């Protein structure tokens, strides 16, 4: 599946995508065993000008962190 500019393999696991809001690059941060782990990663890794978005295994947005 494709989220923004990032192609995500169907691993059957929640995942996190990072977005640099300064230069608008985005990337797959990683896959996680549970939704809670993905949400925690997004909340902890986000910061000003760096948004982190957590998605469930089906690609539904479930949480995030950081500021625009």
Q: pLDDT, tens digit, for every residue of 7-43?
A: 898 889 999 999 999 998 999 999 999 999 999 999 9
Greatest CA separation for the chain = 31
Question: Would the pTM of this model clear 0.85, i.e. be above it?
Answer: yes
User: Structural domain tally of the chain?
Assistant: 1
Tell which wins on pLDDT, 38 or 67. Answer: 38
Checking if the pLDDT of 58 tops 90, the result is yes
What's the gap between Cα 7 and its chain centre? 12
Query: What's the confidence (pLDDT) of residue 12?
Result: 92
**Domain span including residue 43:** 2-6+13-65
Taking a C-beta distance cutoff of 8 angstroms, is the pair 64, 56 a contact?
Answer: no
């Amino acid at each position: 599946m494709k989220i923004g500019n990032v192609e995500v393999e169907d691993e059957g696991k929640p995942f996190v995508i990072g977005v640099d809001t300064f230069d608008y690059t985005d990337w797959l941060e990683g896959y996680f065993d549970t939704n809670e782990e993905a949400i925690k990663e997004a909340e902890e890794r986000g910061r000003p000008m760096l948004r982190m978005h957590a998605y469930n295994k089906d690609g539904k947005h479930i949480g995030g962190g950081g500021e625009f």
